[in-house]
Amino acid sequence: MKDTDIKKLFYAHLFCVFSIILTTFIPSLFLEDFSILETHLTWLCICSICVTVVNVVLYLLVKPNPSSKRSSISHKISRLLKSCVYFSISCLLYHAIIVLYGAPLIELMLETFLFAVILSTFTTLPCLCLLGPNIKAWLRVFTKNGATSIWDNSLQITTVSSVIGAWLGAFPIPLDWERPWQVWPISCTLGATFGYVAGLLISPVWIYRNRKQLTYKSR
């Protein structure tokens, strides 16, 4: 593990954070009455698309796990298709978990689903980018000694912090402050976003501070 790797990670993450901040400002130039709270669903769509694009572009630019063997175009296409299927499955799974967690079943279905989409964007998408459509690898990364590179470590941190952010976002909902952001699912999506951003910022710092302890065994 070299310091350049950490630097690369840091800049990539900074770029992600920057893109998320931009999604709150840029659309208001093109769309009338755009605001995060009032046209929340629009923002959700924009944000998830933007994060997807940025993640894919960064992956293509940085190439964190350079695969040695060249793969054919058909293999690449099948990987891409597989990734799309996995992403939609993860959206559905998140939706199911959120409903099991107490979200309304029929009312506000679209809101709940978009919340699931943004959670998938923050968690599943980086997994797809870094590890490919390989569930075994995903499961391995999320175990105690499963990380094999700093990218895996940063994946752990961002994923867990996004989920925790969404979880914490549910807490203000019952309070009687009657703020617009207490409406389902705004506080949770905002929480997830803040969690993701925090994860992006924390993970390079954490990795840098623990770089002595982190030793990776090669696969």
**Number of alpha carbons in the 13 Å side-chain half-sphere of residue 218:** 1
Tokens of 5: 């790797």
**DSSP per-residue letters across 14-41:** HHHHHHHHHHHHTHHHHSTT--TTTTHH
Site for other proteins, residues 89 to 118, rule: CB under 8 A: 97, 99-102
How many CB atoms sit inside 10 A of residue 192's CB?
Answer: 26
Q: Is 216 in the site for other proteins (CB under 8 A)?
A: no
Contact call for residues 115 and 165 (beta carbons, < 8 A): no
Torsion angle defined by CA atoms of residues 113, 119, 125 and 126, in that order, rounded to the nearest 10 degrees: 180
181 versus 208: smaller Cβ distance to other proteins: 181
Q: Is 2 in the site for other proteins (CB under 8 A)?
A: no
Q: How far apart are CA 151 and CA 131, in angstroms?
A: 10
Task: Determine the interface stretch with other proteins among 61-69, 78-86, 123-131, 172-180 (rule: CB under 8 A).
Answer: 172-180
Q: Which of 70, 209, 212, 219 binds other proteins (CB under 8 A)?
A: 219
Does position 142 interact with other proteins (CB under 8 A)? The reply is: yes
From the list 26-34, 60-68, 115-123, 140-148, the region that binds other proteins by CB under 8 A is 140-148
Establish if 136 lies at the interface with other proteins (CB under 8 A).
yes
Q: Any contact of residue 85 with other proteins (CB under 8 A)? A: no
Contact footprint for other proteins (CB under 8 A): 97, 99-102, 136, 139-140, 142-146, 167, 170, 174-176, 178, 217, 219
